Every structure is written in C-alpha cells, then in structure tokens.
Amino acid sequence: MGRIGKLLLGIVNLGPIGFMAVAVYRHGDLPAWAVAAQVAVVAVLLAIYLRHLAGNDQLTRGLRRGWALVLLAGNWAVFPVYWHQFVWQEPRER
C-alpha cells in the first residue's frame, strides 16, 4: 500500500470516532440510514485490517491471534492504534 493509500485509510478511521461523538451528543437519535452506513464502514475497515493482519510478518502467530480478537472486540476504537502501529509505520528490520 502506498503512502497516499495509508493516509486515506487513516482518515477513514476518523469516521467511526466522529460518528460515535455525534451519537453521544444527539443521545442516540440518529437516522437509520446513518447507522446502516456506519455499520458498513466499520465492517469494511474490519475486513481490511483483518486481511492486513493475516499477511503481517512482523507479528508471531500468537500476536496475530491476539490482535484479531482485539480488532473484533474493540473495532472502531482500536482501528487507529492498529493503523498507526502496523500500517502507517514502515516494517521494522528483524
């Protein structure tokens, strides 16, 4: 993935966080289409990160399993952490 693609993915990460802020501000009173769109965005981001994780040679098998569980459980709140740690930064030399 090129630098522009990485940057765009990082920007898309902000969508779910912003959506949750709006949802809290509006006390959950959101249109159904907005909620459905947000669920779709989170599902696509989850698929992207799980696919990236499967091919991530920086992590051992056990750490990949752990990150998969964390991504599944914490999804939108954890996406920026995974993006910064493993997508944005260049792979480290072993």
Residue 70's pLDDT band (boundaries 50, 70, 90)? very high
Distance CA 18, CA 20 (A): 5
pTM of the model: 0.87
Across 62-82, average pLDDT: 93
Do the beta carbons of residue 80 and residue 10 sit within 8 Å? yes
The reported pLDDT for the residue numbered 93 is 58
Q: Count of residues for the chain? A: 94
